[in-house]
Structure 1
Amino acid sequence: MSKPNDFPPQDQTFVSHLVELRDRLLRAVLAVLVIFLCLFAFANDLYTFLAEPLLRYMPEGTSMIATEVASPFLTPFKLTLVLSVFVAMPVILYQLWAFVAPGLYQNEKRLVMPLLLSSTILFYLGMAFAYYVVFPLVFKFLTGVAPEGVAVMTDISRYLDFVLKLFFAFGVAFEVPIATILVIWAGITTAESLAAKRPYIIVAAFVVGMLLTPPDVISQTLLALPMWLLFELGLVMSKLYTKKPKEEESAEKPEQETVDNPSNAESATQAAATTAPASAATAATATTTDANTATTDNFDEEYRPLSEAEMDEELDRIEADETQEANQVSEEADSSHDGEPHPEFEPISEEEAHRLDHPDHTASDNHDQDKPAKD
């Protein structure tokens, strides 16, 4: 039997779900707002820190510019707001988890919590990889290939959009292990199947890198290679979350029940000893009933259809039982006839045979006998 905590609690009403969703959203928004208020005073310093990889490789005598009137205020404001969302991501994910957790099974809860934590860490690692590894290489290349006589003066708002796009691309790319584990755990595919399709996945990683990064080989390669390596990591980690085959689960349950309850095994042995002297037909029927009962007990929680080989064995067993019952009925009928005396043949007399052979004479003789005798 399944444990009571393996099933979700009682369903709530639709209105209660909406109220809880509103509360969770308000808490997430409040967390973002609090972080934003704390960081807004350092908005300009944060933008300077973000622009440092580009400023390091800009030619002497050049600087970043603001081509719009409100850019000096709106650009740091936008950076602070986006950074507040990134920093508050653990709180947002926790509120999401608290909303959906009551409707999950126990095994799903054990899977989701590590994945939420690891996905958050991997997203932050992707952003850090983009800032400390990708940005210096990309900006060094882009500023170095500028034609002679062209002054590199990047707009602050365009630069912010550019780096936020790269942050998001590398953050999502670092979620590849999570996606790999989920598709394998859900049974959509297997680790062996994904490993066999490794060449196609590598090509897909470079295509994604081409779409999400600037049109240069360096940034594309720096995005594709981590995706490939993280895919390999996901294949290794997926073995920890792979579901057991249904056959193994159904085989383990009866064994565990026997170990936990030895009295069941003793009862089964006594029952078998009691029913041993029964007839062949009764034994076959009892075996069929026990098999059906065991099958029902094994598959109370999870149904598994019979394979072709098991179906053939079942049909052969049924046919053998029917043949055995028919033979038994035939033997009982023969034994009943052997006990009854057979009627013996009695020959007819000569007079009866003559009467049957000459019916006319027989009738004439009878007529003569009926006449009165003359004097």
Structure 2
Amino acid sequence: MSHIEEDEVEASRAPLMEHLVELRQRLLLVIAFLVVGFIGCFAFSTTLYEWLLVPYQEAAAVTRGVPVEELDLTANFFAPLEFFFVRLKLSLVGAIMVIFPIIAWQIYEFVAPGLYKNEKGAFAPFLVLSPILFGLGVAFVYFIVLPMVMRFSLGQEQVGGDSGLSIELLLNVSDYMNLITTLMLVFGISFQMPILMMLLAKAGIVRSTTMLNGWRFAVVGIALFAAFATPPDPISQILLGSALLALYFLSIGAMKFMEPKLEDEEETSSDS
């Protein structure tokens, strides 16, 4: 290998090492925020779990026809350290949700130097919109999906039937936590669909007319996704499918609104 080739290899290594050092620094920063968020959430983990139980309590009050104050409900765990591990999981999930904007910003800051000025301007609004949509997905689960799922589940109870046998829901802390985590994650990610569709429109890959003409295929795809992504109960599947369908058509409207501006930008760039 000649000296010139060796110099070229060394020059290519230098930027790579700089990127790796920067990546390491940003990962350490995210981990530091995650640890702080985890400690803060763990300090209030029992209170947070009680807050997550509110939809179950309200659903039980409606189903059993008893005021919430008069309900005698118990959340159970069947292993010595089960609830402790539930608190750990809840603290980790809570910390990730709290620092999600920081994670998104660090990703943007890492890739921003490789973007053109117009590309940075295109990504910036979505950087703000992404955490908001994720939060809306989580709120949709807490205030709408979870109460309906709990009412459906509690509706299967049979207290004092003809045979005298009672069938009641025995709530397990781990199962309830897994259900909430799954639903919030699925809905939070699914609510990012408008961002994906608008980015595709900005890139010129799809147009609103194409998406509108293919709405039948979208309905089938959304139905299949909802069936596989959610727990096997009809309530969460129907609600996820309905929410995604509404977001799909709202995204088409946003794309239609964006397209004239994108066409003007293309004409300006072609003239210059």
Q: Same fold (TM over 0.5)?
A: yes
Counterpart among 118, 128, 135 of residue 124 in structure 1: 135
Q: 1:17 to 1:53 in 2, by over 3 A?
A: same
Report the counterpart of residue 53 of structure 2 in structure 1: 51
Counterpart CA distance in 2 for 1:225 and 1:246 is 35
Task: Report how far residue 20 of structure 1 moved.
Answer: 0.2
User: CA–CA distance in 2 between the matches of 1:250 and 1:163?
Assistant: 48
What SS does the corresponding residue of 1:215 show, helix, strand or coil? coil
Aligned partners of 1:24 and 1:156: how far apart in 2?
35
Shift of 1:62: 4.4
Structure with more of its chain in helix, by fraction: 2
Measured against aligned partners, the alpha-carbon deviations of 1:328-375 in whole angstroms (never above 9, x if no partner) come to xxxxxxxxxxxxxxxxxxxxxxxxxxxxxxxxxxxxxxxxxxxxxxxx
TM-score by length of 2: 0.83
Higher relative contact order (CA 8 A, sep 6+): 2
Which stretch of the first structure deviates more once superposed, 27-36 or 58-67? 58-67
Deviations 1:67-122 (A, max 9, x none): 12111211112101110011000111111111110010111101111011101100
How do residues 181-220 of structure 1 correspond to structure 2 at under 5 angstroms? 181-220=198-237
- The Cα of 1:185 is off from its aligned counterpart by 1.9
String of CA shifts for 1:25-81, please: whole Å, max 9, x gaps. Answer: 111111111122222211100011112212333465442210121112111121011
Aligned partner of residue 154 in structure 1, secondary structure = coil
CA 106–241 in structure 1, closer or farther in 2 if over 3 Å, else same: farther
Cα gap change, 1:250 to 1:174, in 2 (>3 Å):
closer
Aligned length: 244
- Residue 176 of structure 1: aligned partner: 193
Q: Answer whether contact 1:62 1:151 (CA < 8 A) is retained.
A: no
Candidates 237, 241, 250, aligned match of 1:224 = 241
- The ranges of structure 1 where at least 4 consecutive aligned residues each deviate by more than 4 angstroms after the TM superposition are 59-62
The question of whether the paired residues in 2 share the 8 Å contact of 1:184 and 1:238 is answered with: yes
User: In structure 1, what residue type is equivalent to 2:267?
Assistant: E
**How many angstroms apart in 2 are the aligned matches of 1:143 and 1:128?**
22
CA distance, structure 2, for counterparts of residue 192 and residue 74 of structure 1:
49
CA distance in 2, matches of 1:250, 1:139: 55
Taking the aligned partners of 1:174 and 1:99, their CA distance within structure 2 comes to 24
For the pair shown, which has the larger CA radius of gyration, 1 or 2? 1
8 Å CA contact 2:207, 2:255 repeated in 1: no
Which ranges of structure 2 fall in alignment gaps of 5 or more residues? 1-11, 65-70, 160-165
Equivalent position to 1:102, from 113, 121, 145? 113
- The one of 65, 79, 82 aligned to 2:93: 82
Preserved contact between residue 190 and residue 244 of structure 2 (Cα < 8 Å): yes
TM-score when normalising by structure 1: 0.61
Identity across aligned pairs (percent)? 33
**Equivalent of 1:244 in 263, 269, 272:** 263
Gap runs ≥5 in structure 1 = 1-10, 254-375
